[in-house]
Amino acid sequence: MGSSFGKTIKLTIFGESHGPAIGAVLEGLPPGLKVDTDYMAAELDKRRAYGSISTARREADIPEILSGVKNRLTEGTPLALIIRNTDVRSQDYQNSTVPRPSHADFTAQAKYLGFQDASGGGHFSGRLTAPIVAACAIIKQALEEKGILIGTHIARMATAEDRPFADDPAENIKTLAGLQFPVLDSSAAAEMQQIIERCAAESDSVGGVLETAVCGLDAGIGEPIFDTIEGEIAKAMFAVPAIKGVEFGAGFALGQSRGSQANDSFAVEGSKIVTTSNNSGGVNGGITNGMPVVFRTVVKPTPSIGKTQQSVDIQTLQPAELSIKGRHDPAIIHRARPVLDALTALVIADFYAQRYGYMWLRNDR
Amino acid sequence: MGSSFGKTIKLTIFGESHGPAIGAVLEGLPPGLKVDTDYMAAELDKRRAYGSISTARREADIPEILSGVKNRLTEGTPLALIIRNTDVRSQDYQNSTVPRPSHADFTAQAKYLGFQDASGGGHFSGRLTAPIVAACAIIKQALEEKGILIGTHIARMATAEDRPFADDPAENIKTLAGLQFPVLDSSAAAEMQQIIERCAAESDSVGGVLETAVCGLDAGIGEPIFDTIEGEIAKAMFAVPAIKGVEFGAGFALGQSRGSQANDSFAVEGSKIVTTSNNSGGVNGGITNGMPVVFRTVVKPTPSIGKTQQSVDIQTLQPAELSIKGRHDPAIIHRARPVLDALTALVIADFYAQRYGYMWLRNDR
Amino acid sequence: MGSSFGKTIKLTIFGESHGPAIGAVLEGLPPGLKVDTDYMAAELDKRRAYGSISTARREADIPEILSGVKNRLTEGTPLALIIRNTDVRSQDYQNSTVPRPSHADFTAQAKYLGFQDASGGGHFSGRLTAPIVAACAIIKQALEEKGILIGTHIARMATAEDRPFADDPAENIKTLAGLQFPVLDSSAAAEMQQIIERCAAESDSVGGVLETAVCGLDAGIGEPIFDTIEGEIAKAMFAVPAIKGVEFGAGFALGQSRGSQANDSFAVEGSKIVTTSNNSGGVNGGITNGMPVVFRTVVKPTPSIGKTQQSVDIQTLQPAELSIKGRHDPAIIHRARPVLDALTALVIADFYAQRYGYMWLRNDR
Amino acid sequence: MGSSFGKTIKLTIFGESHGPAIGAVLEGLPPGLKVDTDYMAAELDKRRAYGSISTARREADIPEILSGVKNRLTEGTPLALIIRNTDVRSQDYQNSTVPRPSHADFTAQAKYLGFQDASGGGHFSGRLTAPIVAACAIIKQALEEKGILIGTHIARMATAEDRPFADDPAENIKTLAGLQFPVLDSSAAAEMQQIIERCAAESDSVGGVLETAVCGLDAGIGEPIFDTIEGEIAKAMFAVPAIKGVEFGAGFALGQSRGSQANDSFAVEGSKIVTTSNNSGGVNGGITNGMPVVFRTVVKPTPSIGKTQQSVDIQTLQPAELSIKGRHDPAIIHRARPVLDALTALVIADFYAQRYGYMWLRNDR
């Protein structure tokens, strides 16, 4: 039952990689919101694999909207969209009995008892993030029109590091919107791309760290004790199977610092109270403080690699070597970027909707 | 509305530090579960401040159970418990107009518009974690009787590092249950205690990193896409205001590793499929793989410090110096330990309850 | 886990009749809402038994508010309140093995497996409605200040019938607010009171039908397909164990009518579109149409009666006669009145909160 | 956001009558459940209009299953299905400015502010019940295999009355499964069909009362205080816009009865405790007592009638006469039958799933 996210604005995701279609239902949008399929396509395009038209399977396909939209505006009823899977499996496909290390093959087997369709990753395929991006693009764009901007860059990949977000990341976010490979520093970008190419050549893969910023938020948003800004964002991020950690502001470095260093002093800027540093990542007590919300997520190396790996045949319980054939993404971190933006938009809009109602999101207010 | 956590087993927390009482309501427990107030008291005792009877305020007080328990067994109806606040404020207390840096003072003001009772930290006091620990102690103990063990140690504080959990952390967890200061390596413990004392002497505070392990879990637990093991645990952890990051398995280190290093190979141990490393932290695709679930959380330094800090008067918008008087905890990381254990127990039990029903938790099954 | 009601504004109820206390937690109230204990007491007073100071147990006791209120205003944090049970049972009380017909004794035993505390009705005591009334009084009063009025009268008891609500029931509602026995027509009231007295004399009990009206609602409130006005109100009503049916507008009479008779024609009144009849009970398609929402609920006769009844001993499975000793309410229908008003207020406020946010309920908007 | 129903097993509905497609997502099914499209088709077929191939639009179309099913068995992942709308509107369709009396036209306008697609009833078309029936057919069939049977007949239409369910309605339910027009007494059926034909001739419509029974339930199912059997069933029923009332057991007649008449005496039958009457409709205190759950729902006359009606133009606020052209159902009560069965199956299965987990529904347990 864990396929929905959000309280007042709620997203439900369904589909298997090789089933007839994947899709999303988005409830709780107000009527009259713009549905801009160009914007949606641009967000989806950020999920493209590195190296031009590189995946075996093209996903540029724009989703078909089945309900909730009339004359390119939301109706206020549930919005459903689907993306067809074009190279559909035969119905009596057999799952492999040798699970890929660190993939969901084994755990899906344990949970779904063999009834799951594991082909192409099944319900755990990265492809499932496409309807997330498509549906949340509507929200992300509506937030932009209210001055709330969301953006993500690759902060680190192996040894290569991008420069961090500026204190006010609004300009950075606008820059990133135009970049297919989301790195602020072009020499860092080049270095990362070399790393990816090296991994590809070696039939290996690489992980990295993404940094996301949200600016334009009011202070006072968040619903502690349990529905904190950090908690909801973190929960949403872990919907991406490759993500294994989330930290806000100075994050894990705070484990080695003193209060006198870590505390963010208050100051006045115009008529607004600000902090002179942002070690808190824009959140205190689970509530926004009006500074940019900044968090980092770690993306593990893609588990599907060409190199030979040790596994086990789950039927015979015998050791089995596994070398995955075909082309595989040596890195998916840049492809995760629009997904993080999408999920962050959903979380933020849902918090506002709880406080001010779903009608708040309308463009004309 | 964010004061509840859990779907089938649900915890609701209420209270302000200087109001009449704080408390919890725990719904979804099966009938017939043991309510062992000694176990509960032992868990609450782990929240004691460092340095013996150290806080100005003693919290050893056992909660009063108002409902849901008869003859020391759960009835199956909602269990409510409260802890009285003994040094209650006057009713017309005025909030301070100078918020403490990196505390929730400012954000609570933005959210609650000045109507909140901020004295003693109000709804954001660490004291609010006591009913969490008390209520979830019942769950934690019930899980133990089913062979699911949960434990937390201080992995790092500033420069001091504890040794990591063993591959099978069951023994570590049993050891930790008997330690007031939860560090496996006694020399690391001594070093950390010196750090705390130094901070106390300098009117400063220090953060650290906690590591939690859960063992005895079945493979196949978790409800992706959104209700993942990682996501629910992370969300629960961020209910502790001091926590600013969560990572599973190898965590942020995965951002610098290759797939060929990071992937956990499968092997057979007896009749069970295991992995030869645990970089995944026991979770793939949001579902348990049967290995111990291991995660780390960073606890920021206590924001309330004696040192003079820069703040702003929110009424006059003038800069204001702040030196917080009285005794303050130089570290709360060890006090967060039972809270993490408690919340982890809640998350795990709720996942089982969704799959097998809340009756699953009964001792006699 | 079914002890909570509401999405954005959420009420949780706990307690057993002979446990230490019963109570409520109310989440999602905005900060700054008036908490008027006189109003709350007046609502609670409407739960008094017929015949002056009639129940063995006085419940005039005002609840103790434990959290969420400062200076008689809500803080915006969860509001918890409790009512102590003064004549508390011994801890090792044994449940009766002979369940009362049509009471929850037998079903509670089946559900809670004997671990429940059944004394005094346990979790199913009518007493549990007191915290509902107390907590929702705050909401009901806040709605009144926004022009949304809620009132309930006894439409029928056995052969006695009150006159129906006027087309605009606002005046009726104001009248009812001042009546201890909520009947608009005083001769009908007298007749009903005679019926009650006759039942009391005969050790029997009597049921009836309540009619509730809500006026001042905007058109457009409701969240179909599933979260309809009718559906949420009905669900809330069935929280009162004695209620066995709910109908809106012309209700069950619609089963014998034609469309040409049943349809409510539209007309214009001033600048507002109204209907010339209200067979729809103010709701179409699950959404308010701006007319008063009017519904009726049937209250079954109190199951606890003095007359001898046939039951079964659940341990021996032998037939057993049951004659319940002591004083029992021959009718509880008038006592259910404030509970229906309270739950209706909760439902209405929650719908507004979903659409316009919980901040909508504030008095100053 | 009210388009989902259920906690552990959750149904989400989307679509507009003249949009591209309508559909459902069903979460929380266990893996390995049979998906029998013949059974599904038979349930959908019960939604056929009276008078053979009578509606302008044929809906016999079997839904397309997009996800969650492999080899005719559930996978355990969300099951999505859609039904295409074949005669799709042009994208820039204009809503009528003259709302139909007692239809959702006016309230949808108030809620969705004119952005809704009202053609063919839009989101409020009876057509939206097709995906409910299709998705819940899987659950209904799974319950049958566990001995839980659900059936509905027309208890009354205008002056015509069917005979009531037998004390044990299992045989009645089996009979109804084979009837296109669900009436137990064939002469009553004939009388009702004459009434329908007369209404059709007079361009009018007629309402009625449905009676539903569930047998094979355990005692002890239900989650009071708020998630009662009655409350959840009632809420589900009101998802059908034509339903305006729900009563359990003796229902509204209890308002005129005495406790000594209304109470259901206990007796022993074999080794089972039963009641000798079923005025409680199988539920006490919101929990099943092991007797059949029996409830009645009133279906108002179809609001769309050929006769001339009084309405108002919502733009000019001038009175407007309305005569709806084309063929309209003079009665929809028999078509509501499979929808009630479907929703009842969902409610029952969800209650079991909360108590025993979603894995409970599996055929092999």
Going by C-alpha positions, the residue among A239, A253, A43 that lies closest to residue A164 is A253
Against a cut of 0.90, is the pTM above it? yes
Query: Could you say which residues from 228 to 247 on chain C have a Cβ atom under 8 Å away from some Cβ of chain D?
Result: 228, 230-232, 234-239, 241, 243-247
Tell me the mean pLDDT in the region D250-255. 98
Both structure tokens of D174: 């089996």
B282 interface with A at CB cutoff 8 Å? no
- 8 Å CB contact between C304 and C328: yes
CA distance B216 to B146: 8
Predicted complex ipTM? 0.96
Examine the pLDDT at D93 and tell me if it is beyond 70: no
Tell me the mean pLDDT in the region B69-95. 83
- B316 pLDDT band, cuts 50/70/90, is very high
Tell me the mean pLDDT in the region B315-329. 88
C93 interface with B at CB cutoff 8 Å? yes
Number of Cβ within a 10 Å radius of residue B197: 14
Residue pairs spanning A and D at CB distance below 8 A:
175
Instruction: Encode pLDDT of B285-295 as tens digits.
Output: 999 999 999 99
Question: To which H or E segment does residue C312 belong?
Answer: strand C309-312
- 8 Å CB contact between D79 and D295: no
Amino acid (one-letter) located at D21: A
Examine the pLDDT at D95 and tell me if it is beyond 80: no
Sign of CA dihedral C67, A8, A298, B217: positive
Count Cα neighbours of B261 within 13 Å in the Cβ-side half-sphere: 12
Examine the pLDDT at D61 and tell me if it is beyond 90: no
DSSP annotation of C120 reads: G
Examine the pLDDT at C326 and tell me if it is beyond 80: no
DSSP annotation of A173 reads: H
Task: Give the torsion through C-alpha atoms of A325, A330, A333, A335, to 10 deg.
Answer: -60
Amino acid (one-letter) located at A55: T
How much is the pLDDT for C88?
A: 61
The shortest C-alpha distance from D315 to chain B (Å) reads 39
- D56 pLDDT band, cuts 50/70/90, is very low
Interchain proximity B354–D357, CB inside 8 Å: yes
Examine the pLDDT at C347 and tell me if it is beyond 90: yes
Would you put residue D347 in left (φ > 0), alpha (ψ -120 to 50) or beta? alpha
- B171 pLDDT band, cuts 50/70/90, is very high
Number of Cβ within a 10 Å radius of residue B82: 26
Higher pLDDT, D161 or C325: D161
> Which residues of chain D lie closer than 8 angstroms to C124, CB-CB?
224, 285
Number of Cβ within a 10 Å radius of residue D341: 27
| Mean pLDDT for chain B overall | 93
Contacts of A267 (CB under 8 A, 6+ apart): A273, A274, A275, A276, B310, B312, B319
Tell me the mean pLDDT in the region B79-108. 84
- 8 Å CB contact between B148 and B173: no
Higher pLDDT, A223 or C49: A223
Tell me the mean pLDDT in the region A110-135. 94
Going by C-alpha positions, the residue among D5, D342, D358 that lies closest to residue D140 is D342
CA distance B344 to B297: 12
Residue with tokens 């006469």: D321
Instruction: Encode pLDDT of D131-152 as tens digits.
Output: 999 999 999 999 999 999 999 9
DSSP annotation of A230 reads: H
Query: Could you say which residues from 303 to 362 on chain C have a Cβ atom under 8 Å away from some Cβ of chain A?
Result: 353-360
CA distance A23 to A62: 12
Examine the pLDDT at D234 and tell me if it is beyond 90: yes
Examine the pLDDT at C353 and tell me if it is beyond 60: yes
Examine the pLDDT at A87 and tell me if it is beyond 90: no
> Which residues of chain A lie closer than 8 angstroms to D16, CB-CB?
67-68, 75, 77
Tell me the mean pLDDT in the region D307-329. 90
CA distance C265 to C278: 9
Q: Which three-class secondary structure state does DSSP give residue A291?
A: coil
CA distance C275 to C268: 8
CA distance D9 to C354: 23
How much is the pLDDT for D88?
A: 62
How much is the pLDDT for C116?
A: 95
Interchain proximity C75–B16, CB inside 8 Å: yes
CA distance B88 to C65: 13
How much is the pLDDT for C328?
A: 80
Any idea which fold C4-358 has? Chorismate synthase, AroC fold (3.60.150)
> Which residues of chain A lie closer than 8 angstroms to B254, CB-CB?
207, 244-245, 298-301
Phi/psi for C68 (5° steps) reads 85, 0
Number of Cβ within a 10 Å radius of residue B194: 11
Tell me the mean pLDDT in the region D119-123. 91
Interchain proximity B353–D357, CB inside 8 Å: yes
Residue of chain D whose alpha carbon sits nearest to that of C121: D285
- 8 Å CB contact between A34 and A325: no
Count Cα neighbours of C47 within 13 Å in the Cβ-side half-sphere: 25
Going by C-alpha positions, the residue among D206, D83, D31 that lies closest to residue A112 is D31
pLDDT > 90 fraction of chain C, expressed in percent and rounded: 88
Tell me the mean pLDDT in the region C33-54. 85
Number of Cβ within a 10 Å radius of residue A75: 29
CA distance D40 to A349: 38
Q: Which three-class secondary structure state does DSSP give residue D27?
A: strand
- D50 pLDDT band, cuts 50/70/90, is confident
C31 interface with B at CB cutoff 8 Å? yes
Would you put residue A174 in left (φ > 0), alpha (ψ -120 to 50) or beta? alpha
Q: Give me the helices (H) in chain C, please.
A: 37-45, 105-112, 129-145, 170-177, 186-201, 229-237, 259-262, 333-356
CA distance A73 to B331: 53
Residue A292 vs residues A168, A173, A214, A277, B364: alpha-carbon distances, Å: 7, 12, 5, 11, 51
- C12 pLDDT band, cuts 50/70/90, is very high
| Mean pLDDT for chain C overall | 93
> Which residues of chain D lie closer than 8 angstroms to C7, CB-CB?
1
Compute and round to an integer the Cα radius of gyration of chain B: 21
Q: Which three-class secondary structure state does DSSP give residue A29?
A: coil
Tell me the mean pLDDT in the region B328-340. 94
Residue of chain D whose alpha carbon sits nearest to that of B225: D77
- Residue A359 has its nearest CB partner, among C7, C8, C355, at C355
Interchain proximity B358–D355, CB inside 8 Å: yes
How much is the pLDDT for B120?
A: 87
Q: Which three-class secondary structure state does DSSP give residue C234?
A: helix
Q: Chain B interface, mutation test: which of A225, A309, A317, most B Cβ atoms within 10 Å?
A: A225
Instruction: Encode pLDDT of A4-35 as tens digits.
Output: 999 999 999 999 999 999 999 999 999 999 99
Question: To which H or E segment does residue A334 belong?
Answer: helix A333-356
Would you put residue A81 in left (φ > 0), alpha (ψ -120 to 50) or beta? beta
Number of Cβ within a 10 Å radius of residue A144: 16
% helix, strand, coil for chain C, step of 5:
30, 25, 45
CA distance D82 to D20: 10
Residue of chain C whose alpha carbon sits nearest to that of B110: C31
Residue C84 vs residues B67, B86, C17, C59, C135: alpha-carbon distances, Å: 11, 19, 10, 10, 15
CA distance C15 to D72: 47
- 8 Å CB contact between C102 and D280: yes
Instruction: Encode pLDDT of C226-267 as tens digits.
Output: 999 999 999 999 999 999 999 999 999 999 999 999 999 999
- D87 pLDDT band, cuts 50/70/90, is low
The answer as to CATH 3.30.70.270 being correct for domain D4-361 is no
- 8 Å CB contact between A67 and D125: no
Examine the pLDDT at D91 and tell me if it is beyond 70: no
Q: Chain D interface, mutation test: which of B226, B359, B365, most D Cβ atoms within 10 Å?
A: B359
- Residue D66 has its nearest CB partner, among A23, A31, A79, at A23
> Which residues of chain D lie closer than 8 angstroms to C125, CB-CB?
none
How much is the pLDDT for A326?
A: 73
Tell me the mean pLDDT in the region C281-308. 97
Residue of chain B whose alpha carbon sits nearest to that of A281: B244
- 8 Å CB contact between B181 and B54: no
Instruction: Encode pLDDT of D170-187 as tens digits.
Output: 999 999 999 999 999 999
How much is the pLDDT for D48?
A: 87
- A52 pLDDT band, cuts 50/70/90, is very low
Amino acid (one-letter) located at C346: L
C14 interface with D at CB cutoff 8 Å? no
The shortest C-alpha distance from B239 to chain C (Å) reads 15
Tell me whether the omega of the peptide bond preceding residue B9 falls within 30 degrees of 0, making it cis: no
Output the CATH code of domain A4-359: 3.60.150.10
CA distance A248 to A293: 8
> Which residues of chain D lie closer than 8 angstroms to B354, CB-CB?
8, 357-358
Interchain proximity C358–A353, CB inside 8 Å: no
- D60 pLDDT band, cuts 50/70/90, is low
Going by C-alpha positions, the residue among C133, C136, C104, C107 that lies closest to residue C121 is C104
How much is the pLDDT for B86?
A: 82
- Residue D260 has its nearest CB partner, among C204, C254, C271, at C204
Residue C276 vs residues C230, D53, D102: alpha-carbon distances, Å: 21, 37, 11
- C62 pLDDT band, cuts 50/70/90, is confident
